[in-house]
Structure 1
Amino acid sequence: MSTPVPEIKDIRGPQKLGPLTPLVGVWEGNVGVDLSYHNNDDETSHTSYFERAVFKPIPIQENGQQSLWGMNYTMTAWRHGEEGMDAFHDEVGFLLWDKANGEVMRTVVFGRGIAIQAGSSAGPHDTEIHFDATPGDPSYGILQNKYLMQRAEIKDFKSTFTIIDEDTFSYTSDLLLKLAATGTEMHHTDQNTLRRVQRFHPGSEFN
């Protein structure tokens, strides 16, 4: 009696990008919500946004005995009603998978003069991936320019990517800020759900 053959989408061999594998491609999401302090209006409020994200695999990175597989990425967001204008958020970075040590890493730079190296433990087939960083941590830490240190110091960073299905993922992001304008701490949060609009195949051009 023959063994039933599973559907193609269920056949998964070793995947070089581990839990990051489902993210490869181009994504768009139109249900983003940002909660932040607006200096010009001296108030904390929500902003809705459209977002485009691109994740492209990179060659293996080797540090002595360490081997990292990963991708570079961009995430750009426009406030609703301002899609044809300048983006209000833009980040570039790398997502990396360390299979031997069971860790994911996110090296990200924001156009505001902020650089974060975040990460956590992860399994090769996890569908919820965490990226955490704390100022002063020698491995998963945070740097920001002098003005922001004085006006909106980042005290903590937590972000989670959740793979919902083959063509959908969501994320949450939480920056704990110490605001000089209010003399208090607040959580600057972002969340969105994105759907894949383009896959990368060996014969395709990466635009």
Structure 2
Amino acid sequence: MAQLNVLDACDMIEAAYDQTNAADIEHQIDIRGVQAQYLKSGVLVIPGTNEMADWFDFNLNISGQPTDGHGFEVVPGDSGSMWHAGFLEHAQIVYTFAKGLRPKFIIGHSLGAASAQIVGTSLRVPTLAFASPQTLRGRPTNRLAHEGWVVNYCRLDDTVCHVPPKFLGFRTLGSRYWLAPDEINVGGDHSIDHYRALLKTKKVQDRVPMAWPPK
């Protein structure tokens, strides 16, 4: 099976944010704040929050009424699992776009990483998610079918990777590798360039997969 280099994936995310990859894009969407790009190489890139509306439409998505998500609206998916409502809504839009394209790989960052976890599991496609929030509410032992396609790279000092909080029962889909910088900056270092810099260090490369899926 073909593999995607992790540092190359970081570059693709950054190019999507910087809008320097126009020549590489075959199809793309921008629907209600949901952006996704299908590249000529067969890679689906899902960038994260880049508009203020994203925080209210997807990241926060707090119900006006009390919910059993303790401020995070939680809804059931087709599998019967309970999901962060905003992340699931974002992923459903991306899934509709991606399912006919059948991407070879999926890459996501931040809000895009939440979406990538769900879409990658649904399509059974190798998926790399950076700065991943926790999307699913359920026990870690109750794994969904096909979530093994997904790998998450999370910095210990990245607040986004810790929400919604674990003590409320939320978790990521797939495997997760925690990256520890030399100096902790709580609430900082969320951008993809900070992730790439840490992934270039030997101490990280010695303990995390630098290509996905593993052979």
Q: Is this a same-fold pair by TM over 0.5?
A: no
Structure with the higher helix share, 1 or 2: 2
**Which TM-score tier does this pair reach, normalised by the shorter chain?**
under 0.3
Q: Which of these two proteins has the greater Rg computed from alpha carbons?
A: 1
TM-score normalised by structure 2 residue count: 0.26
TM-score normalised by structure 1 residue count: 0.27
Structure with the higher strand share, 1 or 2: 1
